[in-house]
Chain A
């Protein structure tokens, strides 16, 4: 390990309220949950922060529940909990499909949706799901709570609109009409970071969102409009390929990503409505 641990500080609140007070009065503190991203940076010696806030013991942030017709997922819900939740399987199966291809079992046992959102990697596996689902991020500070549309949550590459005293406490997902679909294309099935990741809802109001094809997750509005207007899949693919901005990097090339993004949209729309996802 390349970081000197002795210079690091970990605050350990016993409640959400105490966590928020610490963020307000003792900040800046970087929230830490399953540590599956932060400790990679720690091991590499690239950790930029030195003061952390341990959220892991805060059980109220692990709830999965319905609030009216909205599915509410606590920030500390792990990928394993998503996979096991009957509610999530019923309401948001594309999120279960996404959770099952994050890392391996060990990462799924520790990684959380709040962490995936806060980390803000353009390749974050759950992010296209939340974008396509019109999810809302619930953030709280001492004495104040606000709801931010997921598609407005990122202000740039790994940058969010979250203020230093705010904590992601939950993600809310409204009811969705239509068939949900998720697919991640990587080098191998497990332990791979995506080259392209897509979540889509095929229904009267088509929704398409992609990861790893731009600095932030992309909601493909133009492709959606083409599909909704019945312009045909090739028009939608052309629109999609014009509204994404993939780059060449260590995992893939822009050209490959653009081609794969189009193929994924074709694959999703060619699939018979209601057919099981062969990749799930």
Chain B
């Protein structure tokens, strides 16, 4: 299967029904993407496919054929990552890669409501979300474009 992974053309041989999550972690050795619930409820395994946030535990590998896949390793999200550290948006850390990938779809200066909607599919059991919203707001403040220039979905 040929697709673009974090900006590089790759050709990965794996069963078409394997979960994208497993192919990324086991075949591509990109373990930044985490498995939480394995049923699309928690968002820990969020990656971008053609710029759209998806839960990679529910994506058959065949469906990324020819598409553009972006994981936390290639997210180019330094502003978000730095802000998550500065504002303690990460505690245990298992939800953090998914949170950052989901937050990438937000435009500059998102409202509270926009942040809540963009992250509605991402569960965090540590922070109570407040620190996460503060981190995202700080990273996206004033004319700072999203690193991928991804169009807002909310």
B2 within 8 A of A: no
B17 touches A106 (CB 8 A): no
Contact of B117 among A42, A57, A105, A107 (CB under 8 A): A105
Closest to A43 in B: B38
Which of chain A's residues have a CB closer than 8 A to the CB of B39?
40, 43-44
* Mask: chain A, 25-52; 1 = CB below 8 Å from B; 0 = not: 0000000101110011011100000001
Output the least CB separation between A47 and chain B (Å): 10
A107 touches B40 (CB 8 A): yes
CA distance A87 to B86 in the complex (A): 43
A105 touches B58 (CB 8 A): no
Q: Interface centre among B52, B63, B65, B122, by most A CB within 10 Å?
A: B63
Which of chain B's residues have a CB closer than 8 A to the CB of A36?
40, 58
Closest to B58 in A: A39
A12 within 8 A of B: yes
B55 touches A12 (CB 8 A): no
Contact of A191 among B53, B54, B120 (CB under 8 A): B120
CA distance A109 to B58 in the complex (A): 12
A10 within 8 A of B: yes
Interface of B is mostly: loop
Closest to A36 in B: B58
A175 within 8 A of B: no
CA distance A205 to B57 in the complex (A): 44
Which of chain B's residues have a CB closer than 8 A to the CB of A154?
none
A106 touches B53 (CB 8 A): yes
Which of chain B's residues have a CB closer than 8 A to the CB of A35?
58-60, 63
B9 within 8 A of A: no
Query: Given A104-B122, A105-B121, are A5 and B18 neighbors across the interface (CB < 8 Å)?
Result: yes
B147 within 8 A of A: no
B75 within 8 A of A: no
B120 touches A110 (CB 8 A): no
Which of chain B's residues have a CB closer than 8 A to the CB of A106?
40, 43, 46, 53-55, 102, 121
Which of chain B's residues have a CB closer than 8 A to the CB of A10?
16-17, 60, 62
A269 within 8 A of B: no
Output the least CB separation between A117 and chain B (Å): 18
CA distance A185 to B127 in the complex (A): 26
CA distance A169 to B151 in the complex (A): 29
Q: Which of B69-106 contact A (CB under 8 A)?
A: 102, 105
A190 touches B17 (CB 8 A): no
* Mask: chain B, 31-65; 1 = CB below 8 Å from A; 0 = not: 00000001111010010000011110111101101
Which of chain B's residues have a CB closer than 8 A to the CB of A191?
41, 120-121, 123
Q: Which of B94-132 contact A (CB under 8 A)?
A: 102, 105, 117-123
Q: Interface centre among B60, B119, B154, by most A CB within 10 Å?
A: B60
Which of chain A's residues have a CB closer than 8 A to the CB of B63?
35, 54, 56-57
B38 touches A109 (CB 8 A): no
Output the least CB separation between B102 and chain A (Å): 7
Which of chain A's residues have a CB closer than 8 A to the CB of B122?
104
Closest to B56 in A: A106
Closest to B18 in A: A5
Q: Could you tell me which A residues sit within 8 Å of B by CB distance?
A: 1, 5-6, 8-10, 12, 32, 34-36, 39-40, 42-44, 52, 54, 56-57, 80, 103-107, 109-110, 189-191
Query: Top 10 closest A-B pairs, CB basis?
Result: A104-B121, A190-B120, A39-B58, A104-B120, A8-B17, A43-B38, A10-B16, A109-B52, A106-B55, A106-B121
A/B interface sample: 30 pairs, CB < 8 A? A1-B19, A1-B22, A9-B17, A10-B17, A12-B62, A34-B58, A36-B40, A39-B57, A39-B59, A39-B60, A42-B19, A54-B60, A80-B153, A103-B40, A104-B102, A104-B120, A104-B121, A105-B118, A105-B120, A105-B153, A106-B40, A106-B43, A106-B53, A106-B121, A107-B121, A109-B153, A110-B54, A110-B58, A190-B117, A191-B120
